[in-house]
Structure 1
């Protein structure tokens, strides 16, 4: 066996971050693009997203890419299958999403097969650019069919599931776990559980809030800080000393 092998462009070594034979869509977050094979969301593949509280973090994660997708394919739809709550138009509009090109599909409570059917049908539709499906109890075999459909029709597909699914096998080439945080550097911690490449040593911290909201929150924190300082004993004592100094320098005449 030769000491060194000549690796062709189609050969991936497990110790390296893989490239992608699929088109990659910019996630809108530079730090996330850097750790994803191909430099973005894989179009034509299943992206599995695990989170404890449905409806809380997923839009912040995927909205930049979906807005970019709408801009490049203005005539196509974004399909939501089994969304946990009705999309709030003003909030999504603030993220540059066109609500007129968004279609939400619901089923009777507990009718998971209907949602799976709707998801597969949407993936096969030429007028659909991306599909987001909330499938908490989907089985690995069903995920495999969705992965095949997304690949066959070159669709961007996100499937949202609870964290307990982390213990189950999945055909998704990319799996993420989301955690909400409240830190100066961001509000969403992203764990990359599975990718074509070596394990990621640490999670990513992303600021997924719209710029205007981030600025408003920063201003609110600053007002609260100033208010705390104004009512602190040290601040009051300094004010008293300053007042006494001014009185001492007054002309007695």
Structure 2
């Protein structure tokens, strides 16, 4: 007597669980996130925002150009949400390439007295890594921004574990050469400046919990007043060009007749003399 056993081709119950991520979908619905302040960027990030308790790695050609425009709206919101409490307000900057410009950060609604800047000697990567790790363990710190151009994958892994253990926002800024290196960061971005009326920053999300992003996201990170001034200046320039356009059109200019040579005059006179007179 023979018995036939058929394999159960139905999906396991675990795949029907909302907390199970499928590789073809944008994950992170169960993640705790902080809105970036840019709707178009939130739309392509897992959990629709910056991951809380995880590392976000940001690559760019030159440090100090675009990072503040990218992260300032979220950091201002974090500080504003905890303004009535003591803990969770401090922002720690580790190894910034330049001293932050206070008036510009204040214009982006950041609370400057609640910011701590830690600067190390050039090339002293161990001290910067130590300061970043210590800041992540501090209860009064809401977010850590670290510029770590020489960090290794093993170093970043320890920082990722610390950020997860203490539920902190962690942004690590690195040069473009790190793009080909492995990284434990669940979210990796590449920044590129651009000149456009619609925006000034292209954000390429080349690693996320989900399918690859087909095209970079264009953001306008300029302050509202600056964007309004630039738009008004562009409109004035456009109207000026329209006013000057008729004057720039080429007009028909009569060219003077080319004078004939002296020998040409002599030949013409001889021709008239040689012609017979009409009766």
1:46-85 matched pairs, under 5 angstroms: 46-74=55-83, 75=86, 76-85=89-98
What 5-or-longer segments of structure 1 have no aligned partner?
238-253
Structure 2 residue aligned with 1:222: 235
Structure 2 unpaired stretches of 5+:
1-7, 250-279
Name the residue aligned to 1:35: 44
- TM-aligned CA deviation for residue 204 of structure 1: 0.5
SS in 2 for 1:199: coil
Secondary structure of the residue aligned to 1:182 is coil
Using the alignment, how far apart are the partners of 1:126 and 1:72 within structure 2?
Answer: 16
How far apart are residue 235 of structure 1 and its match?
4.6
| TM-score (normalizing by structure 2) | 0.81
1:229: Cα distance to partner? 3.4
RMSD in angstroms over aligned alpha carbons? 1.4
Cα distance, 1:9 vs structure 2: 2.1
Offset, 1:39: 1.0
1:96 to 109, 113, 117: 109
CA distance in 1, matches of 2:29, 2:175: 27
- The residue number in structure 2 matching 1:164 is 177
2:154 is the alignment partner of 1:141? yes
What do the CA deviations read for 1:34-78 (whole angstroms, capped 9, x no partner)? Answer: 111111000100000000021110011100000000001224210
Report runs of 4+ in structure 1 exceeding 4 Å deviation: none
Return the offset for 1:162. 0.7
Answer yes or no: is the 8 Å Cα contact 1:26–1:39 preserved in 2. yes
> How many pairs were matched up?
236
Instruction: Report the 3-state secondary structure (helix = DSSP H, G, I; strand = E; otherwise coil) of the residue aligned with 1:159.
Output: strand
Separation (CA, whole Å) in 1 of partners of 2:131 and 2:37: 28
Which residue of 2 is the match for residue 122 of structure 1?
135
Q: Distance in 2 between matches of 1:110 and 1:21?
A: 39
Shift of 1:228: 3.1
Aligned to 1:186, the other structure's residue is in SS state coil
Instruction: Report the Cα distance in structure 2 between the residues aligned to 1:156 and 1:129, rounded to whole angstroms.
Output: 7
